[in-house]
Structure 1
Amino acid sequence: MDRRSVLLCGLAAAVVSACGEPAPRKTGGVGTARPGDRVTAASSVPVGSGVLVDMPGNAQLLVVQAQSGEFRAFNPACPHVGSLVNPPANGVITCPLHGSAFDPSSGAVRKGPATSGLVEVTIARSGDDLVLG
């Protein structure tokens, strides 16, 4: 084997070992959490926007505060093909895959290709914490 081949083989092996196993893809929903489990601090959810919150079991919830003090949570899986939506920006929740748009106050679909809204997950406020309802 010539020097160039040895270097290329070494580089390829380094790239493969550095990459390792891909991170598991997050899914939408509550995962293994149960009613009463903490979702996030209310203070971490900006007014007029929202945050994706990691839940146990490799899941995520989208928690929004469309208006001051009004918190809602949604399964962030787009009903079109299941891609996770982005937190609200400029008054709309969008799916980065095909552009579906949803109302941050209700999860209702504003623009397709999705034909139904985001699934709401019941949460309640307990002090500064938001917990599953």
Structure 2
Amino acid sequence: MRLPPDSQGFTLVEVMVALFVVAVALPALMFQLGTQLSSTEVLRDKSIASWVAQDQLAIHKLQSAGSAAGELQGERQLAGREWPWSLTTEATPVPGMVRQTVSVYPDVTARQRQRDAFVVITAFASESNANEVQ
């Protein structure tokens, strides 16, 4: 089979330039994909840690007869992982109000150092009417 004399194909230089462009773009694309995957994992961990913190605030509000100042610690099993948490209750300048701060950490060591918390949530509650609906 013969090609017509006016048909043209790619030259060797054009093919080499195209391969060079692909060789440069492909690693950059793979790096971007890897960055996106690690960001997704961090966002998932922060979302689950936020659920743990909100749960602990709700549990504390339902179980405590009064919101005495102090600190509670524990671990919560969620999504196949242990989530260490810490809840501190402290008085505020406003009489009858307390500040409750829940921190959720990636591991027990981070909780002991009180550093690198995934999530920190602060809530304010009435000291005397912690369990009553107002």
If the length of structure 2 is used for normalisation, what is the TM-score? 0.32
TM-score calculated relative to the size of structure 1? 0.32
When Rg is computed on C-alpha atoms for both structures, the one with the higher figure is: 2
Specify which structure has the higher proportion of strand: 1
More helix by share: 2
